[in-house]
Amino acid sequence: MVFQWFHSTAYMMDDEVGSLVEKLKPQFVTKWLKTVCEVRFDVMVMCLLPKPVEFARVGGYWDKSCSTVTQLKEGLNRILCLIPYNVISQPLWECFMPEWLEAIRTEVPDSQLKEFREVLRTISSLQINEPEKVSLS
């Protein structure tokens, strides 16, 4: 649900509330997510897979009936919203991104592949950082 919140708030208006939410992300939420990644790397990977475990299928496109193609596009956009906050480390990326590429290869009809072109281009141009240690204090 936290990943869905990042995705939803990425498109907020640039007003007082939007500004406040953007301040909360790096101050609290990203620190918490990085700690989760350190303590339970496996859970973080499971939540970021194209077909995550059942407990991670909450909110957004999981709450509505939509095609696999839509689920894949929305999932990639959700990951795209996490990258600027350095939540996605290189080791994490290396665990889940091959699964995404395989899902696109096997589950997206050729006629719909062009719908992924822009998000994949954007994701591939971003810098994924090495993990940093998070202080719990």
Please, what is the average pLDDT of the chain? Answer: 80
- How many CB atoms neighbour CB 45 within 10 A? 18
SS3 assignment, position 99: helix
How many percent of the chain have pLDDT more than 90?
25
**Do the beta carbons of residue 7 and residue 79 sit within 8 Å?**
no
Q: What is the pLDDT of residues 84-113, one digit of tens each?
A: 878 888 899 999 999 999 999 999 999 999
User: Nearest CA to 93 among 126, 68, 53, 134?
Assistant: 126
Q: What is the pLDDT of residue 80?
A: 86
The predicted model scores a pTM of 0.74
Q: What is the pLDDT of residues 18-40, one digit of tens each?
A: 677 777 777 777 787 888 888 99
Q: At residue 44, what is the residue type?
A: M
